[in-house]
Each structure stands twice: as C-alpha cells, then as structure tokens.
Structure 1
Amino acid sequence: MPNSPAPTKTPVGTATASNVATRFVDSGNRRLAYRRIGHGKPVLLCTRFRGTMDVWDPAFLDALADEGFEVITFDYAGLGQSTGERTLDPAQLAIDARDLMEALDLRDVAIGGWSLGGMVAQIVLARYPQRISHAVLIGTTPPGPNVKPAEQLFYDTAVIPEYGLKEETILFFEPRSAASRAAAELSVARIAARQGDHSPPVPADWAAENLGSTPRSPLFPADAILEALKHTRIPVLHVGGDHDIIFPVENWYALNQALPTLQLVSFPQSGHGPHHQYPEAAAAHIATFLRHTPLS
C-alpha cells in the first residue's frame, strides 16, 4: 500500500474545518450532509452521541488534513443537516457511513469514529470491509463484556439539555487536571469559532431516551462484531484518555492479545475526548498509524 504524502501546512485560502461549506448527497430516501477538507487518503469520521459535524474540534480536523489526508465528517440520517429517519442504533448509523462512501465513491478508506461513532466504525469494518483499509477509534468501547464499568457521572451529565464549559470538561476532559481544564476551555472556543452553516443540535430529550440512566455491561453488545475484530486483517487503532468516564480504556487493554491488529494509544490526564485535548498529537499518531501499518 503506498504511503500517504508527507504533512504540509495548510495554504492561506484553503478550506479549513472552521470555514468549509457543507455539501449534500442523495442516497436512498434521504440526503446526507457532509464536509470535506484536505487531500489524500480519505478518513471518514463518525460522530459521537448527541453529535453533528459541528462537535469536532477544528484543530484536530485541520491537523489531520495537514498530515496529508482528506478528512470527511457527516451528519447521521435525520440529525443535523441530514434528512431521513433518525436513530442512534449503531448498526443503522453504519449504513449511513457505507452509503456515503458509496455515493462519494470513496475507496481505501480509513473509517474513524468517536464514542458512539467508534461503535459505528467497528460495524463498518466488520460488515462492509471492501472499501476499508484501516479503522481509527477514538474514546469508544470494544464489543462484549466490560472489565471496567462506566461511571454514573457520565449518565447524569450527558442528558443536560445544553452543554456549557463545565459539562464539556466533565464529559470530554479530566476535571481533576488543571492542564486538561485549560485545554477544555481552548477546545470549546475553537469549536465555537465557526461562523454560520451550523448543523442543528441533536434533540436532547430524544437522545436522553436512547441513552438510559445507569451504566450497563456490555455497553456494546455485539458478539458478531467482536468475533470479526478477532479475525480481521484490517489494522485497528484506539486513541483514548487515561480516565474516560463512559468508555474506560482498560476495556481495550483487556483484549490486547485477543485482537490481532489492535494498537493502543492512551493520553495522560485526559478523558473521553483526547483528540480535543491533544489535537495535533492525536492527529500525528493517527497519521503515523495510517502511513506505516499495512494489512496484517
């Protein structure tokens, strides 16, 4: 597999995550909204719970594009700017990702996902591997039983109708760390910098109904997906924080010898959104993985 081009700094006037226009493509009985920046090997990113294209930190997306990749984000059907029937079932959301790849004729794709989107990416890898070269999972959970449970704090915070800096810090960073709190403030400001062309937020009450109110195990009850991960030749990278209150990284380390292509990166003093706390470093790790890890 050819290496991706070396990273280059984004030229002045080039579309960035903060100013790129939303595009649309018709697929089946709905219209999917998406954005794309950069050039090179496509990296298709599936968003988190209560997420749209607007919840990604632009510093992370731009850093990944600067590494020499085409970075594509999108809204799930029926959410954000996409039309169709809405759901938070990862298997149905995986169909959105598949259909978008087909509609845009994307090949040799690195499928990525954060949180809920990481479950979606794993299903895409297992069920629709023909276009997939790599999987990049961020702050998510593997399928099957958990060795470490989620914390009640996530369930109590994730259902608050509007996230402010306090909620963003609890959910995606490490409140006990001054450095992480400072990173949260910077990340929230970067996300807020986009002017116009916003995706409507996911309805909070509907999302809360889909979440549940207490931790459970497994968080991702998908035995067939776990079995596929145990036999895949597609390289898998998980990027996590050392204190993720919903998807503890310990659940990935418990599968270290069971998943033959799995690589793990864990950032210190960080939580559920390590790529927002360490946007450039996370992008560099991902870029190295994509360039130098072939099919096993």
Structure 2
Amino acid sequence: MSTDQYACLPNGMHVCYRARGNPSDEALLLISGLAEDLTCWPPVFLDGLVERGFYVIHYDNRDVGRSTTMRTPPPSTLRQLLGRARSDAYTLTDMAADGAGLLDHLEIDRAHVVGRSMGGMIAQTFAATHRVRIRTLTSIYATTGQPSAGQPTWSTRIRVIASRPPRTWQEAVQRHLTITSRIAGSAYPLDDSWEKQYAKGAWDRSCGAGQAGVARQIQAIQASGDRTGQLRTITAPTLVIHGDKDPMVNITGGYATAHAIQGARLVVIPGMGHHFAPGLLGRLLNLITQHGREGVPM
C-alpha cells in the first residue's frame, strides 16, 4: 500500500498524492470526483492498473482530503442550487493546473489521464489546456457543462447540496451509504463493508472539515460554464464511459462529451450508475488498459 506524499506547487497549492508501481512504466493519473479523496479508488482497481503495466498516481483535489483547503467563503446553498458562482470562485482550469503541477513535481512529461465525475471534467480540461502532457484521456460519467446535458435529477441535487452536513464520522458513513446506494445504478450491488471503511477513512483524513470544500468544488463546476468549445480542441485519443442509470450525471452528459471531442469513443454500460461498484471493476480495467495501449498513436 502506498502512503501519503506531498507536492508544494508554484501556484501555492499543497497536493497530497500517492503513487504505486514502477516509475519507469507509463504514468497514469487518476482524478477523483466531487467530495472524493484519493482513497475513493478501490485497491483492487489500483492494483489491476499496476499489474497491467502502469505507474499509477492518485491525489486529493484541492478542498478535499489532505490537499490545500481554500480560504474563500463557500457559496450559499441557494447559489449552488441556482448555479450562481461567487466572483472569487476557482474553476476546473485551476484544478487541472494542480494535476499538471503534480506531474511537474514528479518529473513526468506525459501521462494517461483518467477522471470520474467532476474528475472527468477536470481530466477533460487537462486534455484541452495541457495537450502536450497527455497520452490518452478517459472521461468516466462526466459532462461538458452544457446546460441541457448531464444534469442530475432534482432529488439527487437536493440530497447532495441541501441536506444537513454530517457532524460525526457515524453520520458521514450513513450519508455516504444513503447517497451512494441511490446513485450507484440498478445492476451492480455495493460492497457495504468497503463503502463504510472508505467513508470513515475519508472523514478521518479530512478531520471532518469537508462541507465548505465540497461547496467550493460544486461552484468550480458551475463557474466553468459550458466547456463544449474547449473540448473541441482536444487532440488526445479519448474514451468516454457512462452508465445508462446515472441520476447524478445523466447519460446525455456522456453523449455530449463524446460528440464534442473529435474521434472520441463512447462506451455505454447498461445498469451502471454513478459509482465504481465491484462488479464493474474488471470491465473498467479492461477498457482503460485497452484504450491506453491502443489509443496512443505510434
């Protein structure tokens, strides 16, 4: 098991990351989703990538886990529900720069970049703004910011934004189980034991102080607006993965992403929701590995 390490970036961010595998192998950068810290990737998934010949780096985005906690005021609940970002909001471009800065710190010129949910949006932005640094892009249950695509159901939006934040690790675990069971889809059961362990560990890693950061991350998505034009500039070989039972990012977000990026391949997984359920890991590993091996022009 890899341990937490830290990179101090020129932009002032301190990024907590872990790396596993052989540094001489091709680097693969994993970017987590909204409110998720670097431990959200199941160990069997990480080990599977290493076994397939990748040097795997995963990190805490700003405002989550042990990376820098921003000091700007979080947006109000009403602002989040209406999508009205504060003027001091950071954006997905800023978050993509954190990932590029981490690669600089590790002296890695190019990497395969894989992101899920908000991390998929950051990965898309990385591919558009740091084109020479990316080998392949894999965008998993993400969207483009286009208002008519990829929107969550209102019931899901309210649960994520407007529900009372947890005050103890027990409440954090219960909240995680409640939301995850709702968004995970119909065909792939959760591993409740692992989910509880993850939620408890994430609470401990953030010292229970994550709700304002989550609000700022939501605001970063909203402040970035419709990125369709930006996505059209992406030249990296792109794989888009989405489930047809996703109440957090509607499947229209996957279609919009694949349509915006020239040459992108879209894989729709029946019954998949907004979660890396155990029954999906083998297929996801195969898709990402095949894309990494075949998607790079010789």
TM-score range, shorter chain: 0.7 to 0.9
Q: Give the whole-Å Cα distance in 2 for the aligned partners of 1:256 and 1:96.
A: 25
- 56, 77, 84: which one pairs with 2:62? 77
- 32, 35, 53: which one pairs with 2:18? 35
Amino acid at match of 1:92: D
What is the total number of aligned residue pairs between the two structures?
267
Q: Give the whole-Å Cα distance in 2 for the aligned partners of 1:31 and 1:254.
A: 33
Q: Which residue of 2 aligns with 1:7?
A: none
The reply on whether 1:288 has 2:290 as its aligned counterpart is yes
Q: Secondary structure at the match of 1:183?
A: coil
Q: Give the whole-Å Cα distance in 1 for the aligned partners of 2:14 and 2:216.
A: 25
Q: Which residue of 2 aligns with 1:66?
A: 51
Shift of 1:88: 6.2
Amino acid at match of 1:245: P
Shift of 1:100: 0.6
Amino acid at match of 1:222: D
Q: Which residue of 2 aligns with 1:106?
A: 108
The CA deviation string for residues 191-218 of structure 1, in whole angstroms up to 9 with x for no partner, is 4697998454562255247648xxxx98
Q: Give the whole-Å Cα distance in 1 for the aligned partners of 2:202 and 2:70.
A: 28
- RMSD over aligned CA atoms reads 3.1
Moved more, 146-155 or 43-52: 146-155
Instruction: Please say if residues 32 and 83 of structure 1, whose CA atoms lie closer than 8 Å, have aligned partners that are also in contact.
Output: yes
The reply on whether 1:140 has 2:138 as its aligned counterpart is no
Shift of 1:41: 1.2
The reply on whether 1:188 has 2:195 as its aligned counterpart is yes
Give unmatched runs, 5+ long, in structure 1.
Answer: 1-18
- 139, 150, 153: which one pairs with 1:151? 153
Moved more, 230-239 or 122-131: 230-239
**Aligned pair in 2 of structure 1 residues 257, 62: CA closer, same or farther (>3 Å)?**
same
Instruction: Please say if residues 241 and 270 of structure 1, whose CA atoms lie closer than 8 Å, have aligned partners that are also in contact.
Output: yes
Instruction: Please say if residues 27 and 57 of structure 2, whose CA atoms lie closer than 8 Å, have aligned partners that are also in contact.
Output: yes
Shift of 1:38: 2.0
TM-score with structure 2 setting the length: 0.77
Alignment of 1:1-296 (within 5 A): 19-28=1-10, 29-39=12-22, 40-83=25-68, 85=70, 89-147=91-149, 149-159=151-161, 160=163, 161=166, 162=172, 163-171=175-183, 173-174=184-185, 177=186, 179-180=187-188, 182-185=189-192, 187-188=194-195, 191=198, 198-200=205-207, 203-208=210-215, 211=218, 221-223=225-227, 226-254=228-256, 256-274=258-276, 277-295=279-297
Instruction: Please say if residues 63 and 216 of structure 2, whose CA atoms lie closer than 8 Å, have aligned partners that are also in contact.
Output: no
Shift of 1:128: 1.1
Q: Give the whole-Å Cα distance in 2 for the aligned partners of 1:190 and 1:63.
A: 20
* Structure whose residues are more often helix by fraction: 2
Shift of 1:147: 4.3
Q: Secondary structure at the match of 1:278?
A: helix
Instruction: Please say if residues 100 and 130 of structure 2, whose CA atoms lie closer than 8 Å, have aligned partners that are also in contact.
Output: yes
Shift of 1:67: 1.6
TM-score with structure 1 setting the length: 0.78
Identity %: 23
Shift of 1:288: 0.3
**Aligned pair in 2 of structure 1 residues 210, 164: CA closer, same or farther (>3 Å)?**
closer
The CA deviation string for residues 237-286 of structure 1, in whole angstroms up to 9 with x for no partner, is 11211111121222332565553221112222120124654112101110
Q: Give the whole-Å Cα distance in 1 for the aligned partners of 2:61 and 2:202.
A: 22
**Aligned pair in 2 of structure 1 residues 220, 58: CA closer, same or farther (>3 Å)?**
farther
Amino acid at match of 1:90: L
Amino acid at match of 1:166: T
Instruction: Please say if residues 63 and 214 of structure 2, whose CA atoms lie closer than 8 Å, have aligned partners that are also in contact.
Output: no
Amino acid at match of 1:22: D
Instruction: Please say if residues 134 and 235 of structure 1, whose CA atoms lie closer than 8 Å, have aligned partners that are also in contact.
Output: yes
The CA deviation string for residues 73-131 of structure 1, in whole angstroms up to 9 with x for no partner, is 11123431123636763122111111111111112211221111111111111111121
**Aligned pair in 2 of structure 1 residues 218, 295: CA closer, same or farther (>3 Å)?**
farther
Q: Secondary structure at the match of 1:99?
A: helix
